[in-house]
């Protein structure tokens, strides 16, 4: 008797079933994350800021030069301030008046 095999991919899980064997049906399930069929759902976005639009020369929290890279911004007193990290921005926003001088505004 011929065996008929069917393979289906359901939600990243392979379903293999064999029909026509001496048993009524044989089902086996296997997950293979390393398979070429596995899909990636990487939604990481990269945001870049034009340094010409940033009004400060240094991150007011840690002192890093904005020319080295800006990963977040905040608007303060009509200025766009660049920060090296979200954590630096969050720290600045707790008390902006205390650290605005360190920003070295252009």
Domain locations in the chain as residue ranges: 1-40, 51-103
Confidence band of 9 (pLDDT split at 50, 70, 90): very low
When comparing pLDDT for 58 and 21, which is higher?
A: 58
What phi, psi does 90 have (nearest 5°)?
-60, -40
Q: Average pLDDT of the chain?
A: 75
What's the CA gap between 103 and 59, in Å, rounded?
6
Please tell me what DSSP assigns to residue 56. B
* pTM of the predicted model as reported, rounded to 2 decimal places: 0.56
What's the CA gap between 46 and 51, in Å, rounded?
15
pLDDT score for 77: 95
């Amino acid at each position: 008797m011929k065996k008929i095999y069917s393979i289906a991919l359901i939600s990243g899980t392979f379903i293999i079933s064999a029909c026509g064997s001496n048993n009524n049906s044989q089902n086996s399930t296997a997950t293979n994350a390393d398979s070429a069929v596995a899909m990636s759902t990487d939604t990481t976005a990269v945001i870049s800021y034009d340094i010409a639009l940033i009004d400060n020369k240094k991150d007011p929290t840690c002192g890093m030069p904005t020319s080295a890279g800006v990963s977040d911004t905040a608007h303060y007193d009509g200025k766009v301030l660049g920060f090296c990290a979200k954590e630096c921005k969050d720290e600045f926003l707790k008390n902006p008046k205390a650290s605005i001088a360190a920003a070295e505004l252009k």
